Structure 1
């Protein structure tokens, strides 16, 4: 009997310690989100992971990245990215559950047909959470972390700040991150000088940036660019 009580106390203690560790972890995440609401990041988890992968085969590999403030990014690119990635960006609170459900159903049908092209249901805020803090791995634990971070970001940051961060850390090529580096890499100009067609093409590259960096124009990319170009004036962006 005494042994059972002792085991029960040990289990309760372990549970309390695990709960305390979880609270400490969440507090640490919240502090990082608060910090990034007012400070510009020098890099992101995705950048660091990409650099590590590139240096495995090329020790001299570098990441192309240059931060620029929101007002120094073309409105064309802001509209193109919202139109392409998250048309309801200004209206949701970080997660669109219906979009996730539809993406899951679409991907299931694609898998049944043996098709490789999949659809994501993540919002810009979810993608920002993943890019800033997490890895590209797929697991329920990582998805749970992403959701927690997404709600933290939406609670602490304005939509303008969220979009500013996303445009600056999004991957646009094998080693290209952020709107400024992308504009210079593909068009030899600054992010503030991007035209509507250029912006639509960059936004269309986001789902597979390394692939399009290597292969250039494809029939699908051209078609997607045309679609995004038409949608750009239908979306609103933070002022």
Structure 2
């Protein structure tokens, strides 16, 4: 029996020629060129565009942004810990803002049921008249909504804010029209609603500033939510300036017509409404030609709105 042939198991077996790819041709032969990492179009593979999954870029951006925000927040907390006084100031401001917010809401709730006997405007007029030759007596008499002729309520709605029963404190169409017109008018036209005028007269000081305008928006939202339309119109009829040192339609009716506001006629109510834009310049008792013309216009608008039924369901 022939001896068993030893096999070297450590030697790599010879490759199968059927599985071995053909050798690359030399680079110096015609028709061949060395591979330089470029695609046939001349672009480098590293520079060739790649199709990324949708949202990858935005996800990376959000992740980086979130990391930056967290780092910034950590830096801020570290800075605050090193300066304890900032913590005291921070909590003081927070408590102050909370007290002012709760106080303003409570004030609005109280004035929903209590007559508004004075406003910053009445105090300002009283202060300006003191020490001068002008009379400093304030003419003001509070009357409930039911004690005032509805012609007066309809007149101020027709002249000042015809969308009053329907908007939520702001007439955005009127605001846009005023912005367009004020680009060409020498004297700017306002677009304040009755609600905004009440918020300004009852809660804020006179003057123009962005802070006051922002607070006006805030109080307008509050009284729309807490008071309702009927109370807003009632307060407006009692605090609106209707003449020199005269506030409210009851005081104007007694002073200029000699009778109560409960018996106002349509023309009388329209004339009071006609002077509201500038009651210190225009007069209810001695109306100019402009006021007489504006009174007729307001009376026509009152009829066009349908009369007192327009404000019946406030």
TM-score calculated relative to the size of structure 1 = 0.89
Q: Encode CA deviations 1:22-74: one digit per residue, 9 max, x unaligned.
A: 22212211111100101112111111111111114148611000011111111
Give the equivalent residue in structure 1 for 2:191.
121
Aligned partner of residue 172 in structure 1, secondary structure:
strand
CA 1:226–1:55: 2 relative to 1, 3 Å? same
Tell me which moved more, 222-231 or 14-23. 14-23
Tell me which moved more, 163-172 or 46-55. 46-55
Aligned partner of residue 183 in structure 2, secondary structure:
helix
How far apart are 1:131 and its partner, in Å? 0.9
Give the equivalent residue in structure 1 for 2:201.
131
Give the equivalent residue in structure 1 for 2:132.
57
How far apart are 1:98 and its partner, in Å? 2.8
| 1:86 alignment partner, one of 161, 166, 170 | 161
1:71 has 2:157 as partner: no
Query: Is 2:140–2:251's contact at 8 Å kept on the other side of the alignment?
Result: yes
Give the equivalent residue in structure 1 for 2:60.
none
Q: CA RMSD in A?
A: 2.4
Rg larger in 1 or in 2?
Answer: 2
In 1, the alpha carbon distance for the partners of 2:176 and 2:237 equals 26
In 2, the alpha carbon distance for the partners of 1:162 and 1:238 equals 14
Give the equivalent residue in structure 1 for 2:5.
none
Give the equivalent residue in structure 1 for 2:311.
237
| 2:101 alignment partner, one of 20, 26, 29 | 26
Give the equivalent residue in structure 2 for 1:179.
249
How far apart are 1:180 and its partner, in Å? 0.6
Query: Is 2:243–2:279's contact at 8 Å kept on the other side of the alignment?
Result: yes
1:208 has 2:278 as partner: yes
In 1, the alpha carbon distance for the partners of 2:160 and 2:134 equals 33
How far apart are 1:16 and its partner, in Å? 4.0
Give the equivalent residue in structure 2 for 1:102.
177
Give the equivalent residue in structure 1 for 2:239.
169
Q: Encode CA deviations 1:119-155: one digit per residue, 9 max, x unaligned.
A: 2211111101111111220000001111111110011
CA 1:20–1:105: 2 relative to 1, 3 Å? farther
How far apart are 1:19 and its partner, in Å? 3.3
How far apart are 1:106 and its partner, in Å? 2.1
How far apart are 1:184 and its partner, in Å? 1.3
Tell me which moved more, 118-127 or 96-105. 96-105
Alignment gaps of 5+ in structure 2:
1-74
Q: Encode CA deviations 1:181-227: one digit per residue, 9 max, x unaligned.
A: 01012211110111011111110110101111399322322221111
Give the equivalent residue in structure 2 for 1:224.
294
Count the aligned residue pairs: 234
Q: Encode CA deviations 1:1-27: one digit per residue, 9 max, x unaligned.
A: 999455665445534432332222122
Q: Point out the structure with the larger helix share.
A: 1
Relative contact order (C-alpha < 8 Å, sep 6+): which is higher?
Answer: 1
